[in-house]
Structure 1
Amino acid sequence: MHLTSRLIAAMALALAACEAPTDSTGNWPGEAPPAPERMADGTCWAREVTPAIYEHVMGEIQVVQAEIAEDGTVIRPPVYRRAPVPRVVKPRGELRFETPCPEQTTPELISSVQRALAARGYFSGSVTGRFDAPTQAAIRKYQKERGLDSAQLSLETARALGLIATPLDAL
């Protein structure tokens, strides 16, 4: 095995080891959703970041630079070799959506979310009043079917479940 092949294999192994351990919700184990950002108008907004997705394709990498004279003539052309190179399949994304503010997100509301999702067949865990992994997975599944791939409870979902009132001007 050539030195460059070994180097590429070692780099790939090192990058694979850098992946964070996550649970089925995409969060660190036991982690609650991040706190929403409060806006000047009193609304709260959550942020869902999706990491970029890469694949490795065969490409050319330069292994020896060209040697160029002062007058600009090429003394020795560059040397390239075919090797796997990363390519972005899907760029990093960031989605912002309105969410219940922290003072609204009480254990009672979370328990109601759990019961509402259980009644619709999305949640089968115990009603705990906490944003635990089964609750986040159920929220993600429910919202993903409606176009929002997030384990953070959106205000629209809370209203659709009948847990937070819809203002009259929004009807």
Structure 2
Amino acid sequence: MAALLTACQAVPVAAPDTLRSLEGELVYRAPGAPGPQGPAGACWDHDATPAVIETVTEQELVAPERRDAAGALVAPARYRSVQRQRIVRDRSAVWFRSPCPAELSPDVVAGLQRALAARGLYRAPPTGAIDRPTEAAIRAFQRPRGLNSGKLSLSAAQELGLIPVVGAD
């Protein structure tokens, strides 16, 4: 119950440079590859990360400049613009520790919704169900921390006060 009450308290939104990054807790795998294993009793979830494609525009020489015998310019060089795309990062699956389904009771999910509402990220009434508005608010909470997913990570649940931090005093 204390975790639920903690989630209800208004907590100021941290400045972007003080946000706890989740990047070190993410495991990237090829799409369709099995997820990480362990530790015992841990639950994992995943989301797809799209490929990152960069478009580069370059000037390509069509015809070099021409000069006469005296070195005077007869015709300037001609160029054309060419656009090329390259894959900066391949599509992958990002895996992360998540609360186990048994931990996400309707009461806990309603607490999650209230915690996200206190941060200005969730504007619907608490329903106790992870629906589209809840997923959008989870994504908005996690994105600045390095995880662009509407699925709740264990670290985000702990940061929101929904799940106890193991080993914390």
Give the TM-score normalised by structure 2. Answer: 0.56
8 A contact 2:36–2:95 mirrored in 1: no
- Give the match for residue 160 of structure 1: 159
Q: 1:143 Cα shift?
A: 0.6
Q: 1:113 Cα shift?
A: 0.4
Give the TM-score normalised by structure 1. Answer: 0.56
Q: 1:57 Cα shift?
A: 7.9
What amino acid does structure 2 have at the position aligned with 1:157? A
For 1:160 and 1:125, locate their aligned partners in 2 and report how far apart those are by CA, in whole Å. Answer: 21
SS of corresponding position for 2:103: coil
Query: 1:38-57, aligned counterparts within 5 Å?
Result: 39=38, 41-54=40-53
- Residues 83-127 of structure 1, C-alpha deviation per residue, up to 9 Å, x if partnerless? x98642431122211100011111111110000000111110121
Q: 1:52 Cα shift?
A: 2.1
Q: 1:51 Cα shift?
A: 2.6
2:101 matched to 1:111? no
Please provide the CA RMSD for this pair.
2.8
For 1:38 and 1:140, locate their aligned partners in 2 and report how far apart those are by CA, in whole Å. Answer: 24
**Aligned residues, how many?**
113
- Give the match for residue 132 of structure 2: 133
For 2:48 and 2:147, locate their aligned partners in 1 and report how far apart those are by CA, in whole Å. Answer: 12
Query: 1:81-120, aligned counterparts within 5 Å?
Result: 87-120=86-119
The 1:161/1:92 distance shift into structure 2, 3 A limit, reads: same
- Residues 16-55 of structure 1, C-alpha deviation per residue, up to 9 Å, x if partnerless? xxxxxxxxxxxxxxxxxxxx98846010011122132446
8 A contact 1:123–1:138 mirrored in 2: yes
8 A contact 2:135–2:151 mirrored in 1: yes
What amino acid does structure 2 have at the position aligned with 1:49? A
- Give the match for residue 17 of structure 2: none
8 A contact 2:56–2:85 mirrored in 1: yes
The 1:87/1:122 distance shift into structure 2, 3 A limit, reads: same
- Give the match for residue 121 of structure 1: 120
For 1:149 and 1:136, locate their aligned partners in 2 and report how far apart those are by CA, in whole Å. Answer: 11
For structure 1, the residue ranges without an aligned partner over 5 or more in a row are 1-35, 59-83
- Give the match for residue 61 of structure 2: none
8 A contact 1:37–1:44 mirrored in 2: no
Q: Among the aligned pairs, what percent are the same residue? A: 43
